[in-house]
Structure 1
Amino acid sequence: MGVRGLVTFIESHPQIYRDVRFMKSRLVIDGSNLVHFLYFDSGLDQNHGGEYAGFEELIEKFIAALRACEVAPYVVMDGGSDQTDKKLETVTKRAEDRIQKAHRAAVDGGKEGILPQLAKLVFIQTLARLEVPVARCFAEADQEIASLAREWRCPVLSRDSDFYIFDLPAGLLPISHFQWEGVKQRGLQSYIPCKGYNISSFCTLFNIQRQLLPTFAALAGNDYVKLERMDSSISWAQYAPAGSATASRLEGLLHWLKIFQQPQEALEAALQLMEGLTTKKKLKVQQGLALGMEEYMLPPSTLMRFFMDGVAPPFPEEEEVAGLVPDWTWLPLTQSRLTTDILDVLLLKRMSLSFPVDHGNMPSACLTSRPIRQVMYGLLLGRGTQLHVEERDRDGLQLKFNPVHPTFKGVAKQLKLDSLDKAEPSQRLQVLLGALGVSQASLSCLPAHLHLPVAVTCYWFQRAQPTPDLGLLKALVLSIGDALKKRTAVQNYHSNLKPHVNVAHAFNQWQSCLKDSIHLNQLLGWPLPEPCMARLYEGTLVHQLVHTMRSGRKLRNFLKNDRSSAKLYQTMLSVIHQFKAQVAVPVTSQTQKKPTSPRQRLPLDDLTTNLQQLFIMYDDEETENEVISAVRAAQDLQFVDKVSWRTRHKAKERNNSCKNPELARKTECRGWDIL
């Protein structure tokens, strides 16, 4: 929700706060709020696609500070959109603003508060690894957070202005005053210095009845109530007390409310001030104000049983949504193991896409991953010629609503949403790999945790527009495989470099593909292991790698000098190159006669030809080395008859080792030439 200008107003009256030494307590945390606070207030890079490793470290330090003070954190996250669309106008306006901010950040390199696409996933993964209790609500979390804090009689940690209105027994700890990085000692006990807020202090300072605070919020205007749009706004500043230094809108409203005891009489008096309204419009204003006040009335907590016993809360029983969300999804949704985007698709037939820092002249980065989302829509909605999902994406600098039809074919036709969790693992894996266009056999040579990111990279390398060059691919694979020994050495080199438009767009497309693939993987019950995002992609790093290569500098000084890292790098490149070659090069009549099976690969001669033809498509100075190294990696990965090849190779290698020790050393380090 959010009361416009309230936090700034309260900050101008610091006497409302009290000093607190916070320790030995439960703490209910507004998770969606904390994500933004930690990322933006830390100075982490916003414009290169995310500093996820640094963000992970920051989250770890935050939780460590709480535990050092014997504080038990409970994190509650926002979920899907409200199915009543009460905030539709506000949400749409914020999306339009983000598009403009993302473009400005791409043009001038400034910080516009654009959260990287996968930051929330890093947050959730890190908390899960640290065994911090996390719950995701089915819709907006504010009421659930306040209800839980009220029943546990513990404070809320947030910077959302609505928590200045909720009647919370233990009050609010504003994040901006929560000095978690400055833990102090009192005897043997550690504590976090912070400020505390309680509505009693607010009401005492402004001499207002506490039951009138929801009325104050509604008349001041929040995300649900916009009186100026109804030609019914009032100039509250005129009611500010004489001699007031600020004479602000909120101060005037509070002074006006002092004479009332109950909300209803204040609302009736406010309607009297709105002159010239028709009966119909006055009724609309009255309904809007009542709706805005209802948001501060707290129902019993539905999350307490989840945190105590692991029981998922019941889904809302409104008739219009009954039966649309399968029972088996409730628990993984609440555990944040399943994206709540599926709720928007099931309940509203809508998907709101992200707007990373990208130049407005470039097409939306989400277009590349649309076929992946279409598979997810098909699983959620099934077949039907009239079905479509409204995707909220950008077209240039404008917000656009695109009807997108589900894809429902192949193995997916055999699966039903109500029993998707019980489908055969092999079927679910087929659907996921089919969406990405790769085979299980092609990934078998890789560690399990890299199956999904490499499959996504194959998909991206084939579909991204404009087609990524080999420098972009190498930088990405180096980051994925963690082959760099000194990440900071690369990042600090030209660390303030403004992102190149095409480079940023290419990596935005990759992140969008990865995000949608992870969501599809979650819906299918994790047929592939979910990768650790904090170790998979580092925006400033991959941008610097591209810049380093394009400026002619060698990467050897930054790479781990061990054979396993080079081997893994080669392996991933060869898998991706083979995929690209097979897609780009027409199948010959010879290969048509001898189709490959999961244990058969292209003959080495055919693979070499395919790779050579693929690299001709690119003007790259390392073409020859790439081909040689990829073929060697292909040999190691059983793309040919491994036994016969190794027999010949080992015999030759032993002879060469005896005759030429230097050659043996070079062979041991084979693969570094391509770096």
Structure 2
Amino acid sequence: MGVQGLATFLDNHRKVYRDVRFGRSRLVIDGCNLNYLLYFESGLDQNHGGEYAAYESLIERFITALRTCEVDPYVVLDGGSDHTDKKLETVTQRAEQRIERAHRAAKDGGKENVLPIMTKWVFRQTLTRLKVPVAQCFGEADREIAALADKWQCPVLSNDSDFYIFNLSAGLLPISYFQWQDVNGNGSKSYIPCKRYYTSSFCIYFEIQCQLLPTFAALAGNDYVKLQKFIWSQFAPVASKPQSRLEGLLCWLKDFEEPEDALKAAVELMGGKSRKNKENMKKMLQSLSVGMEEYKLPRSSLMEFFIHGVIPLFLVELRVMQAWLPGDTLDVLLLHRLSLSTPVDHKDLPSVNLTSRPLRQVMYGLVLGKETRVAQRLQLNSLHEQANLNVCHNVVSTLRPAVSWPQAELSERLQVLLEALGVNEERLNALPPQLRLPVAVTCYWWNRARPRPDLKLLKSLLLGMNLRDTPQLSAAVQARCHQKPDVGVAHAFSQWQVCMKDSMHLNQLLGLPLPEPDVARFYQGTLVHQLVHMRRTGSRLKHVLKTDQASVQQYCDMLSAVRRLRPRQASEFSESEQAERRALNDQTNLQPFQLDYDEETETEVCSLARAQEELRLDDRLLLKTRYKTKERRNRCNKVELSRKEERRGTDLL
């Protein structure tokens, strides 16, 4: 939903807001809106695929600020798309706009507010870890959020302009004015400075009847109402500059008491008087009435869920409200349609979503059956993808109906997932549980991505998963943040992220046969882009790779696993890959690796070991330098003894 231009309009009329000190209250949060705004307003990099660890830290600080002020947050997320398709035209237009923005970001390197692919996963995982109550609605969450807040008589936190229309007893706290980073006071007197909005203040300020607010929203145009262009600004006061469309509409509404009268007058004003236009008048009235209905508050189904864990009967079997099924899966189930990811990418390149198409086809088969076709939108072109149940058909047939998926045997569910990814369970089990899905997905990506990622991309990706933050590393990454991403590198890593997202969807659908990975730990966009750049330009990695032994070992284990899991028959290797040679019992205290390595890998492992040795040497130098200083003071009168010891090589430094 959303009333076009209303939030911007109110920025110029701030007297409708009240300055408040917010604390010691429940707060119902529009989760999807907060997710977008937190990331975009943080200054985090958008064009290299996401800064997920930094975003996780930002979410933690936000929740800490709320709890410091004794605010109890309740986060509500959107589920699937509107099943009535009333706003399909708007959704399509926005998808087209996202593709254009993503293309401009890839081409020019500017910030175009393209949300990184896995941001929503990081948001949900972090809230769950922090024990913040989270609910997911069956469709759009706006009305459920408003109903819950009104029932609890607490405010809503959102920047969605529809909440300016809902008659909320405790009002709206716009995120733009919610200064959570500036907590004031101490202890029980801590508070967050912010502004609060009430519909009553709006109506008093603009001198209209409160019952006309939904009429105002419908006539102004929202996601459900599309009217012919009409110049409402002609009714704005002459003194107002610029003469606003919304201000003109509000001035016009001052003459009406009831919504029905205002609607009929508006339709006539738009040309509905003539006989020829009577049919159009009827359609416009119907459209406006539907738009106004969206602002009537339903009975809240969220209160019992948050307080007692009670899920509405129609959602029990699907387990939607617990966010067990993502919105994408709901769209497939209800609409036979799916909106695909739109990362920063050049629009002339093939869609990054093509790489993970086989994974989605398995999901369609599990949800809908093998004969179903699912419409998708790839690069503005509509196409159909056939559901695929050829993967482990006997097992899939046992997973019907939908409610039986999580209850099926773990071995059966795991078999479906691993065969979809094309990896061997026995070899995967050699890894710690939390690494199994990321490694399996990386193997799938390396085999299927086009153009095929080279070893530099693979190693940079895996190394980025394991490096710990250091001052040297941060400096190198910051240098990359302000540079335009390499189109080919961005395309390859976007393919990996889409594969990761679709694999996690499939894993959820099957009841988590593999542990869900911590997304914030497995991809740092600017870091992996910088590692690729350093490899390609011959930069020495050891200056930024001074890390701990466990991280070095885990990186090597993951690289070994990916290359062992690679299907031989599915690969056409480059000459450099074919030149790999077996061997590496290195002299660096690392465990021997049971895998072929190329020269670059051997050099890299040795560099990592040398960097680790340099850290230990730095410690020895510091200790021995202090020791030598003391010894020199003590031996200043024993010159001959010192010379003899030096000749014997006693001075190790």
Give the TM bin, normalised by the shorter chain: 0.7 to 0.9
Check the 8 A contact 1:220/1:253 in 2, yes or no: yes
Task: Answer yes or no: is 1:306 the counterpart of 2:291.
Answer: no
Indicate the residue corresponding to 1:269 in structure 2: 265
Equivalent residue, structure 2, for 1:347: 334
Contact 1:573 1:630 in 2 (8 A): no
Question: Partner residue of 1:374?
Answer: 361
Q: Distance in 1 between matches of 2:570 and 2:95?
A: 38
Q: Which residue of 1 aligns with 2:616?
A: none
Note closer, same or farther for the CA distance 1:670–1:183 as it changes in structure 2 (3 Å cut): closer
Give the 3 Å change call, closer, same or farther, for CA 670–116 of structure 1 in structure 2. Answer: same
| Per-residue deviation, 1:617 | 5.0
SS where residue 564 of structure 1 aligns?
helix
Residue 10 (structure 1) aligns with: 10
Structure 1 residue 188: deviation in Å? 5.0
Q: Secondary structure in 2 aligned to 1:180?
A: coil
Q: 1:667, 1:164 → 2: CA distance? A: 59
Q: Does 1:141 align with 2:127?
A: no
DSSP 3-state at the match of 1:181: coil
Partner AA of 1:442 in structure 2: R
- Would the alpha carbon gap of residues 151 and 547 (structure 1) be closer, same or farther in structure 2, given more than 3 Å must change? same
* C-alpha distance in structure 2 between counterparts of 1:581 and 1:292, whole Å: 54
More displaced 10-residue stretch of structure 1: 127-136 or 566-575: 566-575
Deviation of 1:243 (Å): 2.8
Counterparts of residues 503-522 of structure 1 (less than 5 Å): 503-522=489-508
Gaps of 5+ in 2: 597-605, 614-653
Alpha-carbon distance between aligned partners in 1 of 2:560 and 2:469, rounded to the nearest angstrom: 19
- Tell me how far apart the structure 1 counterparts of residues 123 and 134 of structure 2 sit (CA, whole Å): 10
Aligned twin of 2:207: 207
1:472 aligned partner: 457
Aligned-partner SS, 1:18: strand
Q: Distance in 2 between matches of 1:543 and 1:143?
A: 41
Deviation of the 1:562 alpha carbon: 3.9
State the superposition RMSD in angstroms: 2.5
Instruction: Tell me which amino acid in the other structure corresponds to 2:345.
Output: D
Task: State how far apart, in whole Å, the 2-side matches of 1:19 and 1:639 are.
Answer: 64
Please give the secondary structure, in 1, of the residue aligned with 2:72.
strand
Which of residues 524, 537, 550 is equivalent to 2:536? Answer: 550
**Contact kept in structure 1, 2:542 and 2:607, CA below 8 Å:** no
Task: Give the match for residue 575 of structure 2.
Answer: 616
Give the Å deviation of 1:439. Answer: 0.9
5 Å matches for 1:277-426? 278-315=277-314, 327-330=316-319, 333-384=320-371, 387-394=372-379, 399-409=380-390, 410=392, 411-416=395-400, 417-426=402-411
Instruction: Check conservation: 2:69, 2:188, Cα contact below 8 A.
Output: no
* Count of matched residue positions in the alignment of Structure 1 and Structure 2: 596
Deviations 1:185-238 (CA, angstroms, capped at 9, x unpaired): 16851100001110111111111000000000001111111102xxxx432111
Report the 3-state secondary structure (helix = DSSP H, G, I; strand = E; otherwise coil) of the residue aligned with 1:60: helix
Q: CA distance change for structure 1 residues 73 and 2 in 2, over 3 Å: closer, same or farther?
A: same
Alpha-carbon separation, structure 1, partners of 2:560 and 2:374: 37
2:564–2:595 contact (8 Å) kept in structure 1:
no
Q: 1:82 offset after TM fit, Å?
A: 0.9
Cα gap change, 1:561/1:480 in structure 2, threshold over 3 Å: closer, same or farther?
A: closer
1:328 and 1:421 in contact (8 A); partners too: no
Q: Summarize the Cα distance change of 1:218–1:452 in structure 2 as closer, same or farther, 3 Å threshold.
A: same
The aligned amino acid for 1:84 is T
Q: Report how far residue 353 of structure 1 moved.
A: 0.3
Percent identical pairs in the alignment equals 57
- Mapped to 2, the partners of 1:240 and 1:485 lie a distance apart of 58
Q: How far did residue 282 of structure 1 move?
A: 1.4
User: Alpha carbons of 1:244 and 1:428: their partners in 2 closer, same or farther (altered >3 Å)?
Assistant: same
Q: Does 1:62 align with 2:56?
A: no
**8 Å CA contact retained: 1:52, 1:122:** yes
Which whole-Å CA distance do the structure 1 matches of 2:154 and 2:266 have between them? 35
- 1:602 maps to none
Match of residue 496, structure 1, among 482, 494, 518:
482
- 1:432 maps to 2:417: yes
Q: Mind listing any 5+ residue stretches in structure 1 that lack a counterpart? A: 316-325, 586-612, 641-665
**Residue type of the alignment partner of 1:616:** E
Matches for 1:111-126 after TM superposition, within 5 Å = 111-126=111-126
Q: Where does residue 573 of structure 1 map in the other structure?
A: 559
The AA in structure 1 aligned to 2:309 is G
Alpha-carbon deviation of 1:440?
A: 1.0
Question: Which amino acid in structure 2 is aligned with residue 405 of structure 1?
Answer: Q
Deviation of 1:408 (Å):
0.8
2:548–2:612 contact (8 Å) kept in structure 1:
no
1:578 positional shift = 2.1
Which TM-score applies when normalising by structure 1? 0.84
C-alpha displacement at 1:575, in angstroms? 1.6
Does the Cα contact within 8 Å between 2:232 and 2:248 map onto a contact in 1? yes
- Structure 2 vs 1, CA of residues 469 and 432 (structure 1 numbering), >3 Å: closer, same or farther? same
In the TM superposition, residue 343 of structure 1 has moved relative to its aligned partner by 1.3
User: Shift of the alpha carbon at 1:668?
Assistant: 12
- Counterpart for residue 593 of structure 1: none
Q: Secondary structure at the match of 1:390?
A: strand
Q: Deviations over 1:463-486 (max 9, x none)?
A: 000000110000111122346655
In structure 2, what is the equivalent of residue 606 of structure 1? Answer: none
Q: Tell me the alpha carbon deviations over residues 528-569 of structure 1, each in whole angstroms, 9 at most, x when there is no partner.
A: 000001111000110000011111112122224443322222
8 Å contact kept, 2:437–2:517: yes
Greater mean deviation of Cα atoms: 28-37 or 491-500: 491-500
What is the CA deviation profile of residues 307-358 of structure 1, one whole-angstrom value per residue up to 9, with x for unaligned ones?
Answer: 011122343xxxxxxxxxx84222xx21223212111111110011011000
Give how far 1:514 is off: 0.2
Give the alignment's TM-score, normalised by structure 2: 0.87
Matched AA of 1:23: G
Q: Tell me the distance in 2 between the aligned counterparts of 1:630 and 1:33.
A: 52
Whole-angstrom CA distance in 1 between matches of 2:63 and 2:156 = 15
- Which residue identity is paired with 1:124? R
Moved more, 136-145 or 480-489: 480-489
How far apart are residue 639 of structure 1 and its match?
8.0
Q: Decide whether the 8 Å contact of 2:364 with 2:388 is kept in 1.
A: yes
Distance apart, 1:280 and its partner CA: 2.0
409, 416, 432: which one pairs with 1:447?
A: 432
Query: 2:575 corresponds to which letter in structure 1?
Result: I
CA distance in 2, matches of 1:426, 1:485: 41
Q: How does 1:217-296 map to 2 (within 5 A)?
A: 217-228=217-228, 233-275=229-271, 276=274, 278-296=277-295
**Aligned letter for 1:304?**
M
Measured after TM superposition, the shift of residue 629 of structure 1 is 3.9
CA contact (8 A) 2:583 2:595 kept: no
Query: Whole-Å Cα distance in 2 between the matches of residues 630 and 245 of structure 1?
Result: 77
1:157-172 to structure 2, matched below 5 A, reads 157-172=157-172
Q: Provide the residue aligned with 2:514 in structure 1.
A: 528
Secondary structure of the residue that 1:50 maps to in structure 2?
Answer: coil
Bigger mean CA offset, 139-148 vs 570-579: 570-579
Deviation at residue 393 of structure 1 after TM alignment: 1.7
Shift in Å, 1:579: 2.7
The whole-number CA distance in structure 2 between the counterparts of 1:25 and 1:359 is 46
Q: Aligned residue for 1:456?
A: 441
**Aligned residue number for residue 617 of structure 2:** none
Taking structure 1 as reference, are residues 271 and 615 closer, same or farther at Cα in structure 2, changes over 3 Å only? closer
How far, CA to CA, are the matches of 2:475 and 2:607 in structure 1?
Answer: 28
Contact map agreement 1:570 1:671 (CA 8 A) in 2: no
- Indicate the larger mover: 478-487 or 351-360: 478-487
Q: Distance in 2 between matches of 1:248 and 1:540?
A: 42
Q: What secondary structure sits across from 1:225 in the alignment?
A: coil
Q: What is the CA–CA distance in structure 2 between the aligned matches of 1:483 and 1:455, rounded to whole Å? A: 22
1:513-662 superposed matches below 5 A: 513-580=499-566, 582-584=568-570, 614=573, 616=575, 618=577, 627-629=582-584
Contact 1:484 1:560 survives alignment (8 Å): no
Closer, same or farther: CA 408–584 of 1 in aligned 2, 3 Å: closer
